Structure 1
Amino acid sequence: MFLRTSLKIAACLLALSTPAWATPVHTFAFGQPTAASQATRTIEIVMGDMNFDPKAIQVKAGETIRFVLVNKGQLLHEFNLGDAAMHASHQEEMLQMQQSGMLTPTGMKEMSHDMASMDHAAMGHGMQHDDPNSVLVEPGKTAELTWTFSKATALEFACNIPGHYQADMVGKLTVSQ
């Protein structure tokens, strides 16, 4: 019995001290990304230079929405689902990407050799725009994001590229029962 208990404790300590080798899994209390084939409704959102149309969206808990994002502006824009606190945090990451030169007004640059040698882990989540609740859309392009909303809540959809949220490129997303 003592040996079995000691082995369990040792295994737990080893698991807690071992670094995570895989990319952390993003979990969201308000839902999860879903395959487009599972969508029950499609909503088109047009991105202008500093606005979304429509500015407000209503969905129901349990509903799977395929968002079709059309960028008719001259700048790179983002469509990101979350609450105000999530957007504030993501804006910091986007600012780091812009300051590194990776994020430009009209797109994302490929990582150079110099950037590849930087400590990206210390800068957020690997200097990538890989959040499942978010998509970047270049000027003149269309992108999609499909999401299943799990519970009633008040959210925002926003562009977190530096200055865009502050210029009112944010909309209300209400998830009802």
Structure 2
Amino acid sequence: MLRSKLLSAVFGASLSFALISSGAALAAGSHGGGHDKPTGQAGDPAKVSRTIKIIMKDNYYEPKSLNILEGETVRFVVQNAGEFVHEFNIATAEMHEAHRPEMMMMFEHGVLEPDRINREAAKAMQASMGHGMHEEPNSVLLEPGKTGEVVWTFPKKAKLEFACNIPGHYETGMRGDIRLSH
């Protein structure tokens, strides 16, 4: 009970910070913020050149940045070692900003809870709005203690980052740079 209250309080504080710091992005509510930019594509698992382990803690990642070769296909094994639900998402800063209102909507409809994903609420949201859970090849959303994978082929040129777009997490520093080189 105490753990649940503490998680809710911390999540609420992060959410309040997100609302204050990104009001314009939340008001926009669209996905037009950069989806037309080349960010790479879902990778072919048979063409993976290396595996990188990503550890998600509460409001930071290990490692904090990545060095990737242009055109490289990488398998990311992502582990949520935090107390909250977290996301590992590869995109541009503009795409992350455009994605945050979607994540806020998931929170508002009870899909995202501080320490779990409510799959029944996701089904209800899907039935009523046509959107409940996002399952994109550049992203994985994980509950505490869970592990997932992303296989991604990086573009030749782009300014990318990895981030968590759960309300308040990006704003409190849960993001890292991806440096592409040739």
Counterpart of 1:172? 177
Where does residue 137 of structure 1 map in the other structure? 142
- Equivalences for residues 12-27 of structure 1 within 5 A: none
The separation in 1 between residues aligned to 2:154 and 2:62, in whole angstroms, is 21
- In structure 1, how many angstroms separate the alpha carbons of the residues matched to 2:126 and 2:170? 29
- The alignment's C-alpha RMSD in Å is 1.9
- TM-score, normalised to structure 2's length? 0.74
Distance 1:71 1:105 in 2: 13
Q: Per residue, is there more helix in 1 or in 2?
A: 2
CA–CA separation in structure 2 for the residues paired with 1:68 and 1:114: 30
Q: How many equivalent pairs are there?
A: 147
1:32 aligns with 2:41: yes
Q: TM-score normalised to the size of structure 1?
A: 0.76
Q: Deviations over 1:151-170 (max 9, x none)?
A: 12221100000000011000
Does the CA-based 8 Å contact 2:39-2:92 persist in structure 1? no
Percent identity, aligned pairs only, is 44
Are the aligned partners of 1:60 and 1:152 in contact in 2 as well (CA < 8 Å)? no
Q: Which runs of 5+ in 2 are unaligned?
A: 1-34
Question: CA 1:55/1:116 → structure 2, altered by over 3 Å: closer, same or farther?
Answer: closer
**CA 1:42–1:28 in 2, change beyond 3 Å: closer, same or farther?**
farther
CA distance in 2, matches of 1:142, 1:117: 27
How much does 1:38 deviate?
2.1
Q: Deviation per CA, 1:43-84, whole angstroms, max 9, x where unpaired? A: 111111111011110111111000111111111100000111
